[in-house]
Structure 1
Amino acid sequence: MSNWLKTILFIIGSALLTHLPLIPSSFFRNLDTMVHEFGHAVVTLALSGKVMYINLYADHSGVTYSSLTKSWAFLPVSLAGYFTASLFAWFLFSAYSRGKQRLGLQVMTVLAVLSLVLFVRNAFGVTWLIGFIVLTILVLALTPKWLRDFYYLLVAFICLEESVFGPFSLILYASRNAGQAGDASNLANYTGIPAIVWAVVFTLFALWCAKQAVQAFLGRNKGSRVRGKQVPVPYKRE
Structure 2
Amino acid sequence: MGTSLGDVWQDVLSVQPDPEQWIIVTTAVVALATVLLGPPWRVARNVVTIVHEGGHALLALLSGRQLTGIRLHSDTSGVTVSRGKPTGVGMILTVFAGYIAPSVVGLLGILMLMSGRITALLWLSIVFLAAMLVMIRNFYGVLSIVLTGAVVFGVSWFTPHEVQAAFAYLFIWFLLFAGVRPVLELQSQRMRNPSPQSDADQMARLTGLPGTFWVMVFLLVNAAVTGLGVWLLFF
**TM-score bucket of the superposed structures, by smaller chain:** 0.7 to 0.9
Pick which of 134-143 and 62-71 moved more.
62-71
Q: CA deviation at 1:175?
A: 4.2
Q: CA deviation at 1:27?
A: 4.5
Q: Classify 1:25/1:82 alpha carbon distance in 2 versus 1 (closer, same or farther; 3 Å).
A: closer
Q: Classify 1:82/1:144 alpha carbon distance in 2 versus 1 (closer, same or farther; 3 Å).
A: same
**Counterpart Cα distance in 2 of 1:171 and 1:12:** 26
Matching residue of 1:64: 80
Counterpart check, 1:160 vs 2:176: yes
Larger Rg: 1
Q: Which of 216, 224, 228 is the matching residue for 1:200?
A: 216
Q: CA deviation at 1:136?
A: 1.2
- Identity value in percent: 25
Counterpart check, 1:48 vs 2:64: yes
**Counterpart Cα distance in 1 of 2:108 and 2:173:** 12
**Gaps (5+ residues) in structure 1?**
1-9, 220-238
Matching residue of 1:122: 138
**What amino acid does structure 1 have at the position aligned with 2:57?**
A
Q: CA deviation at 1:70?
A: 5.6
Counterpart check, 1:105 vs 2:114: no
* TM-score where L is the length of structure 1: 0.76
Helix, strand or coil at the partner of 2:195: helix
Q: CA deviation at 1:126?
A: 0.5
Helix, strand or coil at the partner of 1:179: coil
**What amino acid does structure 2 have at the position aligned with 1:133?**
G
**Gaps (5+ residues) in structure 2?**
1-26
User: Once superposed, what is the RMSD of the aligned Cα atoms?
Assistant: 2.7
**Counterpart Cα distance in 1 of 2:211 and 2:112:** 34
Q: What does the per-residue CA deviation read over 1:42-81, in whole Å, with 9 as the maximum and x for residues that have no partner?
A: 2222222222210112222211112223621321111121
Q: CA deviation at 1:112?
A: 0.3
* TM-score where L is the length of structure 2: 0.77
How many residues align structurally? 208
**What amino acid does structure 2 have at the position aligned with 1:113?**
A
Q: What does the per-residue CA deviation read over 1:148-189, in whole Å, with 9 as the maximum and x for residues that have no partner?
A: 222222222221222121123223334445536720011112
Matching residue of 1:140: 156
**Counterpart Cα distance in 2 of 1:177 and 1:192:** 21
Q: Which of 209, 219, 227 is the matching residue for 1:211?
A: 227
Q: CA deviation at 1:199?
A: 0.3
